[in-house]
Amino acid sequence: MEFELWWLLAFPLFFVLGWLAARIDIKHLVKESRALPRTYLTGLNFLLNEQPDKAIDAFIEAVKIDNQTVELHFALGSLFRRRGETDRAIRMHQNLIDRDDLSDDQRLQATSELGLDYLKAGLLDRAEAVFTQLRGSRLDEFALKNLLDIYQQEKDWRKAIEIAEALPGHESALWEKEVANFHCELASDHLANSRFSDALTALRRALEMNRKSVRASMLLGDLHAAQGDDQEALEAWKKVESQNPVYLALVAERLMDAYRRLGSLEQGMQLLRSYLEKYPSLDLLDALFQWELQKEGASAAYHLVRDELQRNPTLLGLDKLLEAALLTAPAEQRMDIELVKGLVHGHTRRVARYRCDACGFKARQFYWRCPACGGWETYPPRRTEEFDLTP
C-alpha cells in the first residue's frame, strides 16, 4: 500500500517537470525564430513549396537585412546556380571567400561552391584551378571527382588517368573499365597520327586494366591492320567473342574486309553465319546480308533474311526481307513491295536506335560514352527493338 502511495505522489511531479521542460523549449524556439529575419522564413516556405524564384527574392531581401548570415549566402548561391544564373552565384561565393570573419571550414565550403559555379558556367580552366586548390583538404575526393569530370570534358586523357588512379577505390571494376577507356582514347589518337608504337603501349595498358575491354581488342586489330598484318588483326577481333559477344556486330565489317584482303571471303562469311546463329543481332544480320548480296546474289540474301526472320521476327528484319524481295520480284510486283517497304521502314526508324542502359538516352549511332549521362560502355550495340523483344 505504501508503494502505490509513493507512485501517486510521483506522477504529478513528473507531469510538472515535463511541463516546465516544454515551456523552456518553446521559449527557446520563439527566441530563435524572432532572431531570424521574417523574409528568411518566407524564403524557406517558398523553397519547400518548390517556388525557387520567389524563394530567391525573399532570400535576397533577407541578406540585405542581415548580411552576416553565412548559411543564407550559401543557400542563395546554390539557388542561383540551379537556376542557371552562374554569374550571380560566382559573385555570391567569391564575396564569401573574401570575407575576413569566415571560419576555415566555411571558407573551404565557399571555395568548393565556387568551383561548382565555374563548372556549371563552362569555365573549365577556372574550375580546374579551384579544385586543384582543394587537393589535400578534407574535400580531396570531391575535388578529384570534379577534376576527372573536367579532364574528360577537355579530352585530356593523360590527366584523367592520373586523377582516376588517385581516387579511392580506383581498383574497382567500374574504375578499371573507365581507365581502360581513357587508354583507348589515347590509343585512338595515336592511331590517327600513325604513332603505332605509342598506340600499342596504350592498348596493352588498357588490357592490363581490363582484360575484357572489347574496345581495346578492336583497336588492337585496327593497329595490326594499319600495319598490314591482317592475320594478327583477325586474331584480335575474334577475341571479342570471348570478351562480350554482343559487340561482334561492331567488328563484322572489319573481319570481312580482312578476309577479303586475304582472299578468303567464304571463310569470313562462314564465320559471320556462325556468329549470327549463336548470337542473333540485327546489325550482324545487316552486315552478313550485304556481303551475301554482293557475293551470292539477291536470292541467297533473301533466303538468309527469311530464315533469320522466322527464327527472330523483327520489324528491322522484315525491312531487310522486303529489300531483298525487291531485287528478286518480277517487275509487276515491285510497286506493291515498295509500298509495303515504305510503310515498314517508317516504323523501323523509331526502333532502329541504340539506348543507354544508365539513363535511357537514345541515338542512331553507337557511342562508347553516352553523350547524355557520360557513362562509359553503357550503350550495348543492340537496337531498341531487340531490347523490347528480350524476355
End-to-end CA distance of the chain: 74
SS3 87: helix
Judge whether 64 lies within some domain: no
Per-residue pLDDT tens over the stretch 66-121: 445 677 777 777 877 888 888 888 888 887 888 787 788 888 998 999 999 999 99
Judge whether 185 lies within some domain: yes
Q: How many residues does the chain have?
A: 391
Domain count, the chain: 2
Domain boundary among the residues 185, 216, 234 is at 234
Q: What is the DSSP string of 184-237?
A: HHHHHHHHHTT-HHHHHHHHHHHHHH-TT-HHHHHHHHHHHHHTT-HHHHHHHH
- 370 carries a ligand binding annotation: yes
Are the C-beta atoms of 215 and 243 separated by less than 8 Å?
Answer: no
Kindly give the parts of the chain with pLDDT less than 70.
Answer: 1-69, 170-174, 315-317, 332, 336-337, 340-352, 383-391
Extract the C-alpha cell encoding 301.
540474301
Which ranges in 239-280 belong to alpha helices (H)?
A: 240-243, 248-261, 265-278
pLDDT at 30: 39
| Whole-angstrom distance, CA of residue 76 vs CA of residue 58 | 10
Domain boundary among the residues 200, 234, 268 is at 234
- 184 carries a ligand binding annotation: no
Closest to 213 measured CA to CA, from 252, 176, 249, 246: 176
Provide the sign of the torsion angle of the four alpha carbons 267, 268, 269, 275, taken in this order: positive
Catalogue the long-range contacts made by 51-60 (C-beta closer than 8 Å, 24 or more residues apart). 52/79, 52/82, 52/83, 53/83, 55/79, 56/80, 56/83
Closest to 145 measured CA to CA, from 171, 121, 123, 127: 127
168's enclosing H/E stretch is none
The total of other beta-carbon atoms located within 10 Å of residue 331's CB is 6
| Whole-angstrom distance, CA of residue 91 vs CA of residue 94 | 5
Looking at residue 368, the DSSP 8-state letter turns out to be S
Judge whether 380 lies within some domain: yes
Half-sphere exposure of 36 (CA within 13 A, CB side): 17
The CATH number of whichever domain residue 190 belongs to comes to: 1.25.40.10
User: Domain range holding 358?
Assistant: 354-391
Judge whether 4 lies within some domain: no
User: What Cα–Cα distance (Å) separates residue 176 from each residue in 344, 370, 379?
Assistant: 42, 17, 17
Are the C-beta atoms of 275 and 263 separated by less than 8 Å?
Answer: no
pLDDT at 206: 95
Domain boundary among the residues 201, 234, 267 is at 234
Extract the C-alpha cell encoding 12.
504529478
User: What's the whole-model pTM score?
Assistant: 0.74
Judge whether 113 lies within some domain: no
Environment class of 252 (CB within 10 Å of its CB; exposed 0-12, middle 13-18, buried 19+): buried
| Whole-angstrom distance, CA of residue 305 vs CA of residue 321 | 6
C-alpha dihedral, 53 to 54 to 58 to 64, nearest 10°:
40
Closest to 251 measured CA to CA, from 259, 27, 57, 322: 259
Judge whether 25 lies within some domain: no
Looking at residue 293, the DSSP 8-state letter turns out to be H
| Whole-angstrom distance, CA of residue 46 vs CA of residue 54 | 6
Judge whether 371 lies within some domain: yes
Extract the C-alpha cell encoding 279.
548470337
Environment class of 57 (CB within 10 Å of its CB; exposed 0-12, middle 13-18, buried 19+): middle
Q: Which residue has the cell 561548382?
A: 116
| Whole-angstrom distance, CA of residue 288 vs CA of residue 277 | 12
Phi, psi of 244 (to 5 degrees): -165, 100
Judge whether 84 lies within some domain: no
Amino acid code (one letter) for 57: D
Per-residue pLDDT tens over the stretch 22-67: 444 434 433 444 444 555 555 555 554 556 556 555 555 554 434 4
